[in-house]
Structure 1
């Protein structure tokens, strides 16, 4: 059983979806949570729980990350779920969109490691987020896949550099978190049907699936430098 009693976990990301599932899972495991993002008011409003506090941070601004570290002092674990979407085929991509993707999802975690590692205990950890597009090229996902692949490299590199602090990455596949709602009901249903049929797990993932993997990464003290695929085997086919 995952036990985070007496531990404080910083979860960087939005107020819903995977970040929320992780926060609730950590609370159920006994941990205290600091949720942080660009809109702390929205984060605070998302939780009615004295064990969850909200803070402001912008991962594209090193001063903001350093200020957060200074305000919080010691924490035990850091989870970064933040991302900036850069979908589109190569002819549709532009410099700023691709740079924003790397800035938030790759450079942001590096800054978190820089400013929080000195404040973590030796048995603390970082959990980063990549994605299955790093391992399964798909048209329209070039920049997303490149970003995710970079996250995987960062996780392995930090695991060596920050040891004995552990660093792992979670690599989700198709997860129903609302991120696909912009497709419209029919297109989303068609996409999910196709991916469900082609997945060895024969289903679409949930935020709870991802949260369980994060708890494993946070509490498994002999696991570091790993990329944990939570994808139903999607990249295999």
Structure 2
């Protein structure tokens, strides 16, 4: 892969595994200096040990920690927020606190990233958020997730206008094999994946690397802003 991010600083908010890790590795391969941030700084440092990636603390539900991170880091070129909070469940079982944390983490937190980092993102830089295919095609048990993702799509358009010329986009994964489905157990996970792979137009399940490729595109495509970039194998179409 060409060094499209050579000498640029990329901040990735999220975990040390799955899509966040794939984004970190793709950015490093593209030449970037990468900083990872999350609520468990020690775990992040351990997860990325030996990769020349520095780890910082941030809690997207706490504005003070976001402001403090911005003060510590100063100028950056790109920010990618992959953070989310599980809010699955049928409407009859959803708890207000769970829904609120989902919004705080994936919607309000990224707005505050824009607030505190907007004037620290260098010329040509970007902010990439994460939505999801459920915003386009909700299924039972995914009401709060769909609502959160739909809100992200609106936030992206508004921030693209307010933070211009900083580019703001969202990446919207479909069914991606990142370990997020492991809790179903091997048999149920295999059945779910087989069914979705049989019906989506791409005829396979996505990989974390598929998502990272699109995040890299969002960071390096200087004429793309205010967009929701689907990485879902056409899943919402069927």
Q: Assess same fold via TM > 0.5.
A: yes
Output the aligned Cα RMSD: 0.9
**Whole-angstrom CA distance in 1 between matches of 2:52 and 2:75:** 16
Q: Structure 2: 5+ residue runs without aligned partners?
A: none
Q: Give the equivalent residue in structure 2 for 1:84.
A: 85
Residue of structure 2 in register with 1:192 after alignment: 193
Match of 2:32 in 1: 31
Residue in 1 aligned with 2:45? Answer: 44
* Structure 1: tracts of 5 or more residues without a match: none
SS in 2 for 1:224: coil
Other structure's SS at 1:109 match: helix
1:77-131: per-residue Cα shift (whole Å, max 9, x none)? 0000000010011001011011110000000100101001111112110000000
Task: Give matches, 1:153-168, under 5 Å.
Answer: 153-168=154-169
SS for the counterpart of 2:230 is strand
How far off its partner does 1:49 sit? 3.6
Match of 1:218 in 2: 219
The two structures have a TM-score, normalised by structure 1, of 0.98
Q: Normalised by the size of structure 2, how large is the TM-score?
A: 0.98
- Residue 23 of structure 2 aligns with which residue? 22
The superposition leaves residues 8-43 of structure 1 with CA deviations (integer Å, 9 ceiling, x where unpaired) of: 000000010000000000000000100000001111
Within 1, Cα distance between the matches of 2:77 and 2:5? 10
Give a deviation string over 1:175-217, Cα, whole Å, max 9, x none: 0000000000000001001111111000000000000000000
Point out 4+ residue stretches in structure 1 off by more than 6 angstroms. Answer: none
Number of matched residues?
237
Contact 2:3 2:29 in 1 (8 A): no
In structure 1, how many angstroms separate the alpha carbons of the residues matched to 2:136 and 2:143?
11
The question of whether the paired residues in 1 share the 8 Å contact of 2:5 and 2:220 is answered with: yes
- Contact 2:201/2:235 (<8 A) preserved: yes
Q: Equivalent residue for 2:114?
A: 113
